[in-house]
């Protein structure tokens, strides 16, 4: 079946602009995660949704970052006033189980964001 889909695969934007990154999780997966991965590093947790609500947004670096999942399926990560330090690969993952039940995550291929 279809895996986690992320669009766009690449995004180049100018410093100060607004960007939206989209994630289509695996159908039926209730848990959705956003991670950020810088070159040579492991993924860094940003935010977790269980259904429509953001159950844990403790990883968002500042208030320029915001994510929504209005119908409990597709999620959008929004970054305002982008900075060069925001350049990274943004990964989305979904899971069929609630957080805490030790379920593996299914990752998309990520969106590579470059802020010039």
Partner 1 sequence: SQQGEEDPQALSIQEGENATMNCSYKTSINNLQWYRQNSGRGLVHLILIRSNEREKHSGRLRVTLDTSKKSSSLLITASRAADTASYFCATDGGDSWGKLQFGAGTQVVVTP
List contacts with partner 1 (CB under 8 A). Answer: 4, 33, 35, 40-45, 48, 56, 58-59, 91, 93, 98-102, 104-110
Q: Which is nearer to partner 1, 18 or 55 (CB)?
A: 55
Using CA atoms, how far apart are residues 94 and 115, in angstroms rounded to an integer? Answer: 26
* Nearer Cβ to partner 1 (79/92): 92
Q: Which is nearer to partner 1, 40 or 70 (CB)?
A: 40
Smallest Cα–Cα separation from 77: which of 25, 116, 26? 25
To partner 1, the closest distance from the beta carbon of 5 in angstroms equals 10
Report the alpha-carbon distance of residue 39 to residue 87 in Å, rounded. Answer: 10
Count of beta carbons in the 10 Å neighbourhood of residue 76:
14
Length in residues, the chain: 116
CB of 95 to partner 1, least distance (A): 9
């Amino acid at each position: 079946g279809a895996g986690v889909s992320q669009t766009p695969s690449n995004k180049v934007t100018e410093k100060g602009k607004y960007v939206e990154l989209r994630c289509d999780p695996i159908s039926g997966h209730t848990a959705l995660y956003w991670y950020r991965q810088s070159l040579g590093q492991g993924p860094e947790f940003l935010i977790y949704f269980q259904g429509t609500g953001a159950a844990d947004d403790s990883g968002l670096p500042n208030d320029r970052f915001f994510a929504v999942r209005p119908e409990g399926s597709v999620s959008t990560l929004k970054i305002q006033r982008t900075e060069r330090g925001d350049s990274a690969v943004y990964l989305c993952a979904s899971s069929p189980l609630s957080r805490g039940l030790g379920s593996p995550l299914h990752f998309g291929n990520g969106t590579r964001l470059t802020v010039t």
